[in-house]
């Protein structure tokens, strides 16, 4: 039992650390109207590991802190990641086909971030950078690129890792 807890905490910590580390190559465009975060590719990990849920939440919290977000953005942005991770985990349990699982699982971080982050920015900064719909469209595009384009690398890596076990 103790080994399972240690494994859970270790894997969650590694995912969190990796999430934070992967934001640095894209640091100059990790925040703002059009944001590409390589670390968002990791949001598919709850499809395979429950430990990814707290790992992504803590990683997002740290990234939002170091990118200089407002306090409400730091907290609510991380909570969006937490909810998206939980929903992605459920998809991973329900859908067995890997490709469909990947497509549907990636949907939640994209949609939740795209529609909720502009509202948080409004609360945090008192104005939208640009009209709400433009923020939504921008985030739909940038999150889709981060998750589906870079996430395929994560998916292939996880599947290979799982085959070697």
What whole-number percentage of the chain has pLDDT above 70? 92
Alpha carbon 143 to chain centroid distance?
A: 9
Residues 122 and 109: their CA atoms lie apart, in Å, by 20
What CA dihedral angle connects 65, 80, 17 and 47, to 10 degrees?
A: -170
Contacts of 63 by beta carbon, 8 Å cutoff, 6+ apart = 19, 20, 23, 30, 37, 39
The first and second tokens of residue 100, run together, are 């469909």
Position with higher pLDDT, 142 vs 130? 142
pLDDT of residue 24: 84
Question: Over 90: is that where the pLDDT of 99 sits?
Answer: yes
Mean pLDDT of the chain: 89
Q: Which of 53, 59, 22 minimizes the C-alpha distance to 37?
A: 22
Mean pLDDT for the stretch of residues 104-130: 86
Instruction: Report pLDDT for 73.
Output: 87
How far, in Å, CA of 30 to CA of 83, rounded? Answer: 20
Asked whether residue 128 carries a pLDDT value surpassing 90, the answer given is no
pLDDT of residue 32: 60
Q: Which residues are CB-neighbours of 26 under 8 A, at least 6 positions away?
A: 36, 37, 38, 39
- Model pLDDT for residues 6-59, shown as the tens digit of each residue: 999 999 999 999 999 998 887 666 566 667 778 899 999 999 999 999 999 999
DSSP 26-80: GGGGSSSSS---GGGGGGGGGGT-TTHHHHHHHHHHHHHHHTT--HHHHHHHHHH
């Amino acid at each position: 039992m103790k080994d399972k807890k240690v494994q859970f905490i270790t894997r969650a910590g590694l995912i969190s650390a990796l999430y934070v580390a992967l934001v640095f190559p894209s640091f100059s465009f990790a925040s703002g109207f059009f944001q590409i975060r390589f670390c968002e590719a990791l949001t598919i990990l709850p499809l395979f590991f429950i430990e990814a849920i707290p790992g992504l939440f803590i990683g997002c919290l740290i990234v939002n802190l170091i990118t200089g977000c407002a306090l409400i953005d730091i907290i609510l942005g991380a909570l969006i990641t937490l909810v998206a991770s939980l929903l992605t985990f459920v998809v991973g349990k329900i859908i067995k086909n890997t490709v469909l699982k990947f497509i549907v699982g990636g949907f939640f971080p994209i949609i939740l971030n795209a529609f909720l982050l502009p509202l948080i920015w409004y609360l945090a900064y008192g104005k939208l950078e640009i009209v709400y719909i433009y923020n939504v469209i921008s985030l739909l595009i940038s999150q889709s690129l981060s998750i589906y384009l870079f996430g395929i690398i994560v998916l292939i890596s996880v599947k290979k890792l799982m085959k070697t076990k």
